[in-house]
Amino acid sequence: MWCYRGGSISAEPRINDRIRVPEVRLVGPSGEQVGIVPLAKALELAQEYDLDLVEVAATARPPVCKLMDYGKFKYESAMKAREARKNQAHTVIKEMKLRPKIDPHDYDTKKGHVVRFLKQGDKVKITIMFRGREQSRPELGYRLLQRLAEDVQDLGFIESNPKQDGRNMIMVLGPHKKKTEAMAEAREAQAARKADAKANPGKSQNAAETEAETEVETTVEADAEAPAEAPAEA
């Protein structure tokens, strides 16, 4: 944001000697109302308490100022904002593509991915792709979608019923578990693993390496199924 002279307008409140008014409505360090006092008196009290005089309501008449440790206040505000960002739940729609005549092994693999996405609290868009003469048999795709929905009904529900879209048939599954709940459970599981590792420092190196390899494989697999990538076809 810029003022008409080309200078930037700071979002930081004015503190101490940057406050330029004859008097202020002062709030004490514990939130008590001191009342309207001359600026010089407010600055004197700030020095006495070894705190800062911070303008918290600049548009009031007179401006409202509070005695506080401004450095500590900024740090705590930054930590709260960081925690809020970490707990934000972003709606993600994963995509899984299948063929109407998918073989059992590929079906189980695809279903496993759908289960993982739903457990993470994400929606899943299932696309059945028809080719050639398959387009005259839409019931094959419909039955496959219904079968998949039934197989994962403990984790998700049909949010958007199967519908034909050109050569494809599309269905959207929604998770029973909210994204925030899934994130909280994931953090708890991670904390439990760390606690277990600390409680059992004698864990063999081979076991640790196997666990690390599994984690890497899972990450790579998740990346391969992300919406930005082209989902694998059966």
Q: Show pLDDT as tens, one digit a residue, over the chain (234 residues).
A: 334 344 444 578 899 999 999 999 999 998 899 999 999 999 999 999 999 999 999 999 999 999 999 999 999 989 988 887 776 666 678 999 999 999 999 999 999 999 999 998 899 999 999 998 888 899 999 999 999 999 999 999 999 999 998 899 999 999 988 777 777 777 777 777 887 777 777 654 444 444 444 443 333 333 434 444 444 444
- 40 vs 21: CA distance, rounded Å: 10
Instruction: Write phi, then psi, for 10 (nearest 5 degrees).
Output: -75, 140
pLDDT of amino acid 88: 64
The one-letter amino acid code at 221 reads E
- pLDDT score, position 196: 79
Distance in angstroms (rounded) separating the CA atoms of residues 77 and 107:
49
Cross-strand partners of 98: 128
Tens digit of each residue's pLDDT (9 = 90 or more) over 35-47: 999 999 999 999 9
β-strand 93-98 against 123-129: which pairing, if any? parallel
What is d(CA 176, CA 178) in angstroms, rounded to the nearest whole number? 7
List CB contacts of 181: < 8 A, sequence separation 6 or more. 121
| Number of neighbouring beta carbons within 10 Å of residue 87 | 11
Angle CA 3–9–14, to nearest 5: 140
Residue pLDDT, tens place only, 46-85: 999 999 999 999 999 999 999 999 999 999 989 988 887 7
DSSP 91-119: --EEEEEE-TT--HHHHHHHHHHHHHHHH
